[in-house]
A and B are shown apart, each in its own frame.
Chain A
C-alpha cells in the first residue's frame, strides 16, 4: 500500500516556505504580500527565495501599513486571487484588526455567499524567543471569537506545510499563526510533494488513560515534556492532544479523549482570562460533564503583558507547572 514518498528534513519555517512555493507553482493566483517579504525574504526568512522564483508581481513588498496589507488582500481575494498576507508579528496585527473584523470575516454572509475571501494571514506569535514588547503577544482568542475566520496553529514542520496548503485552498479567510519558538526548534521529514492536513482536526500525540493534556503551538512541546516526565516520576499516563486548529475546534477528539480519562489539563501561553482554554473547558462541559472525575485545570500565562525577556520564562507555562496541575487533577 505504501508508495515511496520523497521527503526532506525541514524546520518549521522551511516547511512554511515550501508550502507557499508549492502552491505558487501550482496556481498563478496565489500571491504573497507583506513588509520585507520580497528581496529581504521576510523577517524570519519565511518567504526566502520566493521573489527570485516568482517575481515581484507575485511576491509584493508593501509599505509599513498592516491595515493596507489586509485591505488589499481582501480586495484581491474577492477578485479571484488567493493572497497570503504576512504580519511581521501577531502583535502588529492591531492596525489591521478593523479590516479583519468588519470585512474579511463577514463578506461571505454580507453577500449571501456570492463572494468569499480566500485569503491567509500568516503571523508569527508567542513568547520565549526574547523578543521585545508587543512582538510576543499570544492573542489568538481575539480571533476565535470572530465568526467567519478560521484560526490554525501548527506545532511542527509536517503539520505546518499540510495545514498551510489546506489554508490556502480554503475558500474563507484563515488566520495562520506560527509559533516563533517552533520555527527552528526541530526538523522533521516533510514530503516534497503537495499534501494537506485537514483544518479542524486535532492530533493525538500520545495515548494515555489517566489525564488528557491539551495544547497548541509552542505549548505542545511543553505538554509532551510534562507527559514524559510525569510518567517516569508518578506512572501517570497522559493522552496528549495538539489541537492544531482553534476554530473550528476538534470537538470529537477532545470529548473522546476526556471521556476516556475523566481528567483534563489545558495549557496555553496566552493569559487565562478570556483565553481559548476557557472554550475548551466549555466544550468538555457540554460534551462530557458526567465523565469528569475532577475539575478541569488550566495552566496559562498570567494576566499581564508578556514581560521583558529577563523574566519571560516566569511568565510562560513550563513542564513543572503542567506536572503540578496534572497531579492536582489526579489527587483531587
Chain B
C-alpha cells in the first residue's frame, strides 16, 4: 500500500487546503497521474501519483486544511499480492488517524507549535512581566511598537479581547447609532471573511516589511511620449503581433530599471542584518506585483540582464497569465531582487508602496496622462506618467534613490539611448 502524503511543495510550506480530488476510491491510476489539487499560501499544486495502481482510500475531504506529512490518499500498487497484511496494517493505523475533523485540529496545533518555536517576540522585560502576571501568552499578542515590539498597551488590549476586535466594536457601535435610510439601499448582511491563506500571507509579509524596513518614497514625472511613439512604430510594423514586436510599456520599464541598476547596484541588493552585510545581487530578477483574484502575488522574471525587451515582454505576459489563473509554480515566485508595481492601468497617480522584503526597492508606475508641459519655452502636450520609488533607507539614501530614478527616466524618455546600452 502506498501512502500519498502532502509534501513540502516549495519554500517550506506547512499546510495546504485540499481544493479538489481528481480520483475516487476504486479508480485505477497511472504513475504521475494527478490525484488531488492542493492550495497553499502561495500556489495551487497537483499531487501526482507515485505509483500505478488502485485508489484504496481517501483520508481527507475537499476543504480540509492538511499539514505537510499528512497522508491524503492510499493507493494499492498494481500487482500487489500482499493485500491482507497491508490492509490489516492500515486497519490498525486507522483508529489512530482520527476523523478528519480531529485531524484538522491536530494539524492546526502542530502549526501553532511550529510558529511558536520560530517566532521571536520582541518585548521589554516589564511587558513580559505584565503578560506573565496576567497569564497572557505573549507570543499570541500582536506587537504595535517599533520593530513590531509588543508594548504594555498591546498586552492590555489583548486581555480586553484583542486589538482588532476593539476597533471593530467601536465602529459598529457608531454605525448602529447613525440613522440609515433603510428603504433606499438594501441592507448589507454583516459577515466574516476568513483571514487565512493568501490574504494572511500578504498581511504577514507586508507587516514584516513595514516594521523592519524604514521606508522612504519619492515621486517623479516621466515623459512617455517618445517611448509611446516607439511602441507605436513597432506595432505598426507588426500589426498582428506575429513578430513579437507588440511590446508592453512595462517591458521597457523593466529593462530601463535593470540598466539603471548597472550604475546604482545598491538597489539590486539585500540587507543581511545578521551577518552585517549588504549583498549586491549578481542577477536582476524582476518581481511583478500582480493583482490576482485571491490578492497580490509577485511572479519573477529571471535574469532580465541577459534578456531582450521582447523576451522580457513575452515572459512577463506568460507569468501574469499564470498568476491570473492560479497556475504559478513556486519556482516562478522565487529569487526576486527588485519589484515593480504597474498600477497605471488601474488609474492611480501616486502611492507609497511597501517593499517586497528583503529587497531594497520597489518602483510603481501610475496612470499616464496627456498634459501641457513647457519644453524650450513652448507649451506642448506630452504623455506624462507618475512614478513612485520606495527604498530601504537603511541601505540607500535619498540622493542615490533620486539619481537612480533619474537614470531610469533618462532611458524611458530617450528610448534610443536605451538601445545603445543593449547587448
Contacts and interface: CB of A to CB of B under 8 A. Distances in A.
Contact of B128 (A262, A290, A294): A290
Given A291-B125, A293-B126, 18 more contacts: A262-B126, A289-B125, A290-B125, A290-B126, A290-B128, A290-B129, A290-B132, A291-B126, A291-B129, A292-B124, A292-B125, A292-B126, A293-B124, A293-B125, A293-B127, A293-B152, A294-B124, A332-B124
A207 to B, nearest CB: 20
Nearest to B151: A293
Interface of B: 124-129, 132, 152
A332 B147 CA distance: 11
Contacts of A294: 124
Contacts of A292: 124-126
Contacts of A332: 124
Nearest to B129: A290
Contacts of B125: 289-293
Contacts of B128: 290
B281 to A, nearest CB: 34
A228 to B, nearest CB: 26
20 contacts: A262-B126, A289-B125, A290-B125, A290-B126, A290-B128, A290-B129, A290-B132, A291-B125, A291-B126, A291-B129, A292-B124, A292-B125, A292-B126, A293-B124, A293-B125, A293-B126, A293-B127, A293-B152, A294-B124, A332-B124
A284 to B, nearest CB: 10
The 8 A-B pairs at the shortest CB distance, nearest first, are namely A290-B129, A293-B126, A292-B125, A290-B125, A262-B126, A293-B124, A289-B125, A291-B126
A293 B124 CA distance: 5
Nearest to A291: B126
Contacts of A293: 124-127, 152
Contacts of A289: 125
B378 to A, nearest CB: 53
Nearest to A263: B126
A320 B129 CA distance: 32
The binding surface of chain A is classed by DSSP as loop
Contacts of B129: 290-291
Contacts of B126: 262, 290-293
Contacts of B132: 290
A332 B132 CA distance: 21
Nearest to A289: B125
Interface residues of A, number: 8
Contacts, number: 20
A291 B126 CA distance: 4
A291 B124 CA distance: 9
A219 to B, nearest CB: 26
Contacts of B124: 292-294, 332
Contacts of B127: 293
A151 B125 CA distance: 32
A32 B124 CA distance: 52
B398 to A, nearest CB: 24
B131 to A, nearest CB: 10
Counting chain B CB atoms within 10 Å of each CB, the highest count among A289, A290, A294 belongs to A290
A291 B152 CA distance: 12
B65 to A, nearest CB: 38
B154 to A, nearest CB: 13
A289 B128 CA distance: 10
A296 to B, nearest CB: 11
A266 B308 CA distance: 62
Nearest to B132: A290
A142 B124 CA distance: 33
B138 to A, nearest CB: 12
A289 B132 CA distance: 14
Contacts of A262: 126
B353 to A, nearest CB: 28
B211 to A, nearest CB: 16
Nearest to A288: B125
A255 B125 CA distance: 15
A286 to B, nearest CB: 13
B130 to A, nearest CB: 9
Nearest to B130: A290
A332 B151 CA distance: 10
Interface in A303-332: 332
B160 to A, nearest CB: 20
A237 B132 CA distance: 27
Nearest to B127: A293
A293 B145 CA distance: 13
Interface in A265-293: 289-293
B67 to A, nearest CB: 36
A290 B152 CA distance: 13
A289 B125 CA distance: 6
Interface string A107-134: 0000000000000000000000000000
B125 to A, nearest CB: 5
Interface in A247-263: 262
A290 B124 CA distance: 8
A19 B124 CA distance: 46
Contacts of B152: 293
A144 to B, nearest CB: 26
B209 to A, nearest CB: 23
A262 B128 CA distance: 13
Nearest to B128: A290
A188 B357 CA distance: 62
A291 B128 CA distance: 9
A317 B353 CA distance: 43
B384 to A, nearest CB: 42
Counting chain A CB atoms within 10 Å of each CB, the highest count among B124, B127, B132, B152 belongs to B124
Nearest to A332: B124
A29 B203 CA distance: 79
A295 to B, nearest CB: 8
A262 B125 CA distance: 9
B200 to A, nearest CB: 30
A203 B125 CA distance: 26
A289 B152 CA distance: 16
A211 to B, nearest CB: 13
